[in-house]
Structure 1
């Protein structure tokens, strides 16, 4: 073991009487609160009303959690279905297992429905929310730290992450320290958040361009971080790459293409954030 390392958490669950308080759930909740707070401030700066992003979160959050869990269960279904497995475990979200791709996809569906109900333009809504989602992801990754999951290859770097023997995958029983990919992704997300804010100060970003930057910056980091991970997944080798690396490449390419198109066809920002002039006047 390296002389310097990040120690494993002593525990990830605390009990308040009969009720378990799980660090993973707390990290997810704190991330959601941060994303809504940041989105609310950005929305008001765009001319929106206080409380509208909180109302929209009632659509986005449930859709996002369901989407994240569905993606995880579908892409790792052998963990829950088959011989010796219990399908009911697919519902135990507190044990970890939220796929960001599904969470963002269905979360966006929730945002579209909520924006429609509230008579808001969807692209300004998504542009207002996207940077805060990066902060939510940065906080949420610490849930993986407490669960001792989704770490990277063995390493003896000073910032290596110690993993208890019970959480080490097959073939790594005698290795104690690994790349802290949770920390890499968390720091990358915070850096991407800062970059977007700087670009928004320089350019008038609208019509979904901030959302496209979010997708590009996140997937650029997720792609290389994914190559470090050793957690067993069913789609671990698709054409020589893990499935999530391919997802990063595809999403990055689509977002980049949209950003170029929007920069040419829709420069600047939208004139308003409401779908109807009547709501804008009110």
Structure 2
């Protein structure tokens, strides 16, 4: 069966603004970060958090996430950098691609933990807040692989098969790969959008808190990443017949499931930002104080009187309550 149509791939992944190269991969990562910050900031403020706190946390989480992502990639692909024909210094060339999402999550979590310690925001509260924005950011960032013509799946005859170019060091197409391939970047991007919708709906319907939204994000993302990873044909280490990233996805899914089940019954936290800059976590089930109906006339307080209660002589003049006036008992 021949493909009835195909998806094109870009023939360039870098543009130059004078001497400054603008790489599509980096722009996609930046766009994903902006999406995550915007969504997370709105969610945190809806819970009572202060405006701008997500930006302060991102200052720590984003650099740690990028470093973690690169370290994971280098560790799991050592031959490219430390093999017989490897170039060790290329490990620092992040702009050429090569970021591992697992390292990004771990590194970003470390940076977020540091920021939470500084601000007083509980890490689990932050995890629930940022989960939808985080998975949307991953969906946006995946388009960088499309520009780089990388990490595609095996050959397919489906109408949406992807045309792939061989890219040169200058970020321009050199040749076209024969055949059409599964657009795994598109599969993962759409899957991430679906997971984000799932998180928001589940949180509202079942009042998920205590890190359960983040745990659901881990389960949702890894469930999709598992089958998408199975389609990919790029070089990878295999363990017991599975790619290393497939094993990582499985382990993370189990960890997320355990956390999700262990934290049952915890509702989403509400926050209060005090005048002295502290964040107070409020009881999510606490009812707000009853307000007086505008249609009801306020009840006037009875004026104070100096007359003594005939049944309790001397209380008013002594300025004591009934409990205070009673003698101590053995």
The TM-score normalised by the length of structure 2 is: 0.79
2-side partners of 1:163 and 1:188: how far apart? 22
Displacement of 1:10 in angstroms is 2.3
Within 5 A, what are the aligned runs for 1:93-172?
93-165=94-166
Point out where structure 1 has 5 or more consecutive residues left out of the alignment: 168-172
Q: What displacement does 1:175 show?
A: 3.0
Q: Does 1:279 align with 2:278?
A: yes
SS of the equivalent of 1:178 reads: coil
Tell me how far 1:70 sits from its aligned partner: 0.1
User: 2:222 aligned with 1:222, yes or no?
Assistant: no
Task: After superposition, give the CA deviation of every residue in 1:42-69 in whole Å (9 maximum; x if it has no partner).
Answer: 0001110000000000010000000000
**What is the TM-score when the length of structure 1 is the normalising length?**
0.92
SS of residue matched to 1:20: strand
Determine if contact 2:215/2:259 at 8 Å carries over to the other structure: yes
Task: Show the counterpart of 2:70.
Answer: 69
Q: CA deviation at 1:279?
A: 1.7
SS at match of 2:239: coil
2:277 and 2:93 map into 1 onto residues whose CA distance is 45
- Decide whether the 8 Å contact of 1:164 with 1:176 is kept in 2: no
- Contact kept, 8 Å, 1:124 with 1:273, in 2: the verdict is no
For residues 121-153 of structure 1, give each alpha carbon's deviation from its aligned partner in whole angstroms, at most 9, with x where no partner exists: 111111111110111000000000000000000
Distance between the aligned counterparts of 1:271 and 1:41, measured in 2? 14
**1:205 corresponds to 2:208:** yes
Equivalences for 1:229-268 in 2 at 5 Å? 229-233=232-236, 235=237, 237-263=238-264, 266-268=265-267
| Equivalent position SS for 2:6 | coil
**SS state of the match for residue 82, structure 2?**
coil
RMSD over aligned CA atoms reads 1.9
Runs of 4 or more, structure 1, over 6 Å off, are: none
8 Å CA contact 2:161–2:180 kept in 1: the answer is: yes
- Number of aligned positions between the proteins: 271
Q: Could you tell me which residue of structure 1 aligns to residue 310 of structure 2?
A: none
Q: Provide closer, same or farther for how the CA distance between residues 174 and 100 of structure 1 changes in structure 2, counting only shifts above 3 A.
A: closer
1:274 Cα deviation from its structure 2 partner: 7.5
CA distance in 2, matches of 1:21, 1:32: 17
Q: Give SS of 1:97's match.
A: coil
Q: Which runs of 5+ in 2 are unaligned?
A: 169-175, 281-330
Query: Whole-Å Cα distance in 1 between the matches of residues 145 and 25 of structure 2?
Result: 7
Equivalent residue, structure 1, for 2:3: 2
Q: Following the alignment from structure 1 to structure 2, what is the Cα–Cα distance between the partners of residues 111 and 227?
A: 31
Q: Which of the numbers 157, 162, 177 marks the counterpart of 2:180?
A: 177
**Distance (Å, rounded) in 2 between the aligned partners of 1:273 and 1:231:** 48
